[in-house]
Structure 1
Amino acid sequence: MDKTISSDIKIKCADGEYIAATIHSPTSHIKGAILIAPATGIKRQFYANFSNYLSSNGYGVIRFDNRGIAESLVGDINNSKVSLQCWGEQDMPAVLTQLQKSFPNTNYHLIGHSAGGQLVGLMHNALELSSIFNFASSSGQLNNMSSSYRLKANIFMNLFIPLSNVLFGHTKSQWIGMGEPLPKNVAKQWRDWCNGQGYVKVAFGKTVNHHLYDKISLPSLWVNSTDDEIANDANVKDMLSVFGQLNANAKTLTFNANDYGLDEIGHMKFFSKKSKVLWPHALEWLEQQSSNTAKK
């Protein structure tokens, strides 16, 4: 395994906003470069061990905090105008541009976690990617969840979020183990999209007037786990239905924690160091796609 060098940077987005990020550089030949796009409200430190693993295997990596989250939060969260949509339209494209500057003349891949994979079609430069590997990325449609979990999800989405926004000016998602505090517009859009079919598709022709969901045809692997109540098979299928050309050739993979000697994987644990037995699946995908890109 290669030695890696990591450093914290600030990335300037097209609208002038800055977001906090960490770049991981292998010390030997670069096989490719990876944008790790986080789940809703999850700070970049969560992906540190996984990023080191990829970098030690020859890949440049950038992980980041979406605006309004952790070190990318500027000022009072109650004054934040951030939305889910601007994460896909502003933050993710800026990180990909930085990835290309930091690691020129190679191939570029997205590893998306939940929202990080859902929002790829909002990136104006998404077609510059070579492949997509998503974990727990689905539409999160409430109606497709099991009846027992659907009740919990409805309470969070349709009671906790609006009540918290009214009482506190933002969503205190950290109170129930759902990551960092969320700017109110992020939480509201998250709620609206999960209450409909196709997640971001709910906003097509409303707030989303330009996107690439119908144009992306990249090789993609969509991974979930049997113990994930959110990104279940039905919701992965629902999310894939939003894509046009990509949908026909997308591959899926479902983990069972027992097969790997793990207690759980769920919606979050793929990126945990305790689940590193799963990480070769991502590396194998990257090796295959990097090789295919080099042959073109």
Structure 2
Amino acid sequence: MSREISAKPTGRASSEARLGQTLVEDVSISCQDGTVLQGTLFTPQQGLIGAVLMGPATGIKRQFYSNFALYLAQHNYAVLTFDNRGIGGSLQGRVQYSEASLQCWGEQDMPAALDCLMTRFPETAYHLVGHSAGGQLIGLMHNAHHISSVFNVACSSGRLRNMRFPFVLSARFFMNMVIPLSNRLFGHTKAQWFGMGEPLPKGAAEQWRQWCNGQGYVKTAFGKTVHSHLYDELAMPALWVNAPDDFIANDANVADMISVFPKMRAETLTLRKEDYGLDEIGHMKFFSRKSEVLWRHATDWLDRWS
């Protein structure tokens, strides 16, 4: 029976619990620049098939993915969830002093989390389950070639121009008015006021704003702040999953993001809430415990490439 695990980040393995055949433990993750992140490791106690890195969406804490991670562990996949720097357990000090950016999440945090996963589970297949930004940023990971497959949920360029009326009005308001005004007034973006996860470090929010105003998301930073990346090289199989009631990761924005990976073997899957008896899937609800009926798509994909 799955339940959320509360993190208590005080050391490499600060707490652990056993839920059925799954060992759940908190871990610390060291990045190359010395930043320490907090994560939670879900380890099946028998029959390991592969290991999964859970790439979080912008401003979303790792506890949000606990039920999904337990589900994968019950299907014999080890899973590492983690908080990006400036978010949740990985926030050091006050958020207005955090220098975190989307770019350092991809260049520093995600590679360190993958290294941690590979160290704990050597000689197995490694996969990325990316939620929104967690799938967008894989091309910034210097070690992404170790990933055998990608399962992306609600992952797209988030390009404002491709969003439909009337949602585009609120999206433009948040991106182009709330973010700069909040950053100026508070030194960070109060995304939580708008139901968009944790308070965001100003650098992460501003980069988010810039990238969503352009074509190809992170592509807008190529040659500017991003001078080295693997977007042109990654060729692993990837399944991009979205839903018609997701007004951010609509079909046009999914296609826009896929275009940044010219060699990736991309497949797409559209999940309609009515086909599964759900009230909502949208941008966030795939990982809700109420949406467990959808999770077999993840295990089917992982089994295919493990």
Q: Give the shorter-chain TM-score range.
A: over 0.9
- What is the number of residues matched between the two proteins? 288
Aligned twin of 2:13:
none
Aligned twin of 1:195:
213
Aligned twin of 2:22:
4
User: Which residue of 252, 256, 261 maps to 2:272?
Assistant: 256
Q: Distance in 2 between matches of 1:176 and 1:188?
A: 16
| 2:293 is equivalent to residue 270 of structure 1 | no
Does the residue aligned with 1:245 lie in a helix, a strand or coil? Answer: coil
User: Which residue of 52, 72, 85 maps to 1:34?
Assistant: 52
Shift of 1:149: 0.7
Shift of 1:78: 1.0
Q: TM-score, normalised on structure 2?
A: 0.93
Aligned twin of 1:105:
123
Q: Distance in 2 between matches of 1:3 and 1:274?
A: 22
Shift of 1:14: 0.7
Q: Distance in 2 between matches of 1:158 and 1:197?
A: 16
Q: Distance in 2 between matches of 1:97 and 1:29?
A: 22
Shift of 1:79: 1.0
CA deviations on 1:107-159 (whole Å, 9 max, x unpaired) are 00000000000000000000110000000000000000002111000000000
| 2:108 is equivalent to residue 90 of structure 1 | yes
Q: TM-score, normalised on structure 1?
A: 0.96
Shift of 1:221: 0.3
Shift of 1:46: 0.1
Aligned twin of 2:10:
none
User: Which residue of 83, 86, 93 maps to 1:65?
Assistant: 83
User: Which residue of 158, 176, 179 maps to 1:140?
Assistant: 158
Q: Distance in 2 between matches of 1:227 and 1:42?
A: 20
Using the aligned pairs only, state the percent identity: 62
Deviating 4+ runs (over 4 angstroms) = none
Aligned twin of 2:192:
174
CA deviations on 1:224-272 (whole Å, 9 max, x unpaired) are 00100000000000001111211xx310000000000000100000000
Shift of 1:77: 1.1
Q: Distance in 2 between matches of 1:28 and 1:277?
A: 24
Q: Which amino acid aligns with 1:163?
A: L
Q: Which runs of 5+ in 2 are unaligned?
A: 2-19
Aligned twin of 1:209:
227
Q: Distance in 1 between matches of 2:284 and 2:223?
A: 32
Aligned twin of 1:16:
34
Does the residue aligned with 1:265 lie in a helix, a strand or coil? Answer: coil
Q: Distance in 1 between matches of 2:210 and 2:52?
A: 30
CA deviations on 1:166-205 (whole Å, 9 max, x unpaired) are 1111000000100000000000000000000000000000
Aligned twin of 2:11:
none
Aligned twin of 1:293:
none
Q: Distance in 1 between matches of 2:162 and 2:42?
A: 38
Q: Which structure's residues are more often helix, by fraction? A: 1
| Cα RMSD, aligned residues only | 0.8
Matches within 5 A, 1:160-171: 160-171=178-189
